[in-house]
């Protein structure tokens, strides 16, 4: 599974770290991805979604039923 939001497609960004002496090194900024059990097409699947989509209720979260 790619480190990418299943809803909006948000993925890692590459940027530069700049020190006090202005030495530039490349680094990777990862999105805040959460693993959730969601209902997709009537079936429960485990997907990665970003915190922004989770907070905006863009996906229906599956709850465990008590049997």
HEC assignment per residue over the chain: CCCCCCCCCCCCEEEEEECCCCCEEEEEECCCEEEEEEEECCEEEEEEEEHHHHHCCCCCECCCCCC
Q: Is there a contact between 53 and 5 (Cβ–Cβ < 8 Å)?
A: yes
Confidence at 64, pLDDT banded by 50, 70, 90 = confident
Q: Is domain 1-67 classified as CATH 2.30.170.40? A: yes
Whole-angstrom distance between the N-terminal and C-terminal Cα of the chain? Answer: 31
Q: What is the pLDDT of residues 28-56, one digit of tens each?
A: 999 999 999 999 999 999 999 999 999 99
What are the residue boundaries of the structural domains of the chain, listed by start?
1-67
What pLDDT does 1 receive?
Answer: 64
pLDDT band at 59 (very low <50, low <70, confident <90, very high): very high
């Amino acid at each position: 599974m790619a480190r990418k939001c299943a809803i909006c497609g948000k993925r890692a960004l590459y940027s530069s770290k700049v020190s006090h002496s202005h030495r530039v090194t490349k680094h990777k900024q990862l999105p805040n991805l959460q693993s959730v059990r969601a209902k997709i097409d009537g079936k429960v699947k485990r997907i990665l979604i970003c915190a922004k989509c989770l907070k905006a209720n863009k996906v229906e979260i599956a709850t465990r039923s008590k049997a």
